[in-house]
Amino acid sequence: MTAPQRKRALVTGAAGGLGQEIAVQFAARGCAVAVVDINGAGAEITAARCRELGGETSTIVSDLTQTGVPERAIAAAVDAWGGLDILVNNAGYGAIEPFLEMSDALWDRTLSLNVTALAMALAAAGRVMRAQRSGRIINITSPASRMALPYYTAYAASKAAVDAITRSAAVALAPFGVLVNSVAPGMMDTEMQRSTELDLARVEGRNDLDTFLAERTRRVPLGRRVEPAAVAGGVVWLALDAPDYITAERLNFSGGLDRD
């Protein structure tokens, strides 16, 4: 029997947190993984973990908010491996600002990475996958896209845009056998989650951080937070194992927080 073809994946924001876990799980499944991040040292740590599992890796240190960089990152992976089977748009940014004190600097930084860079990477990968007549793209969204968050409005709006882009891309690429879906993690113990909640506690004048975090966790119907490894498993499932009739869908890993 012919051995199954190795899948070629690119993961943005893969220097740590969820992105690192996704990349490592792909490597464990025998995929070649392009690790993309602005943090070169973190990206190399992820690549090393992938290599320990026998995975072939490519490290691409890039600021995806710069014009043309998302496209060049995709091109680098294609040049290395002759194609691309999986794109995971995981890179993201969010910061706390009260609604009436929001700045255009925060909006520009949030939208440039969470929306524009994601869309440009998706389109570049989509063109490659259109020619291949196959491929799977997973965008990381958030329950925030469906919530009223007056301290986190730029982030929430950016993730609502990700939902819209996911649906549009799924329809645009469906005739070519390319599937586009999203995953919405709830509260995870990542650096971004921790820094966001520290800022939120400060803005709300909460000095007892443990009590504040416990209150937030109790908002989750399942009563607990999710591990990045569990969310990464959902991403890998969509990329490698999900039926090929699933597209334009959103897989919620929010413990019921996103229940609408």
Catalytic residue positions, numbered: 155
DSSP H/E element including 139: strand 135-140
Q: How many Cα neighbours within 13 Å face the side chain of 103? A: 7
The H or E element spanning position 156 is helix 153-173
Looking at the DSSP bridge assignments, the partners of residue 255 are none
Say how far apart CA 203 and CA 248 lie, in whole Å: 36
Phi, psi of 229 (to 5 degrees): -60, -35
Residue with tokens 């591990």: 227
**End-to-end Cα separation, the chain, in angstroms:** 46
Those residues with Cβ within 8 angstroms of residue 218's Cβ, 6 or more apart along the chain or in another chain:
none
- Residue 25 half-sphere exposure toward CB, CA atoms < 13 A: 21
E-strand stretches of the chain: 8-12, 32-37, 57-61, 86-89, 135-140, 178-185, 250-253
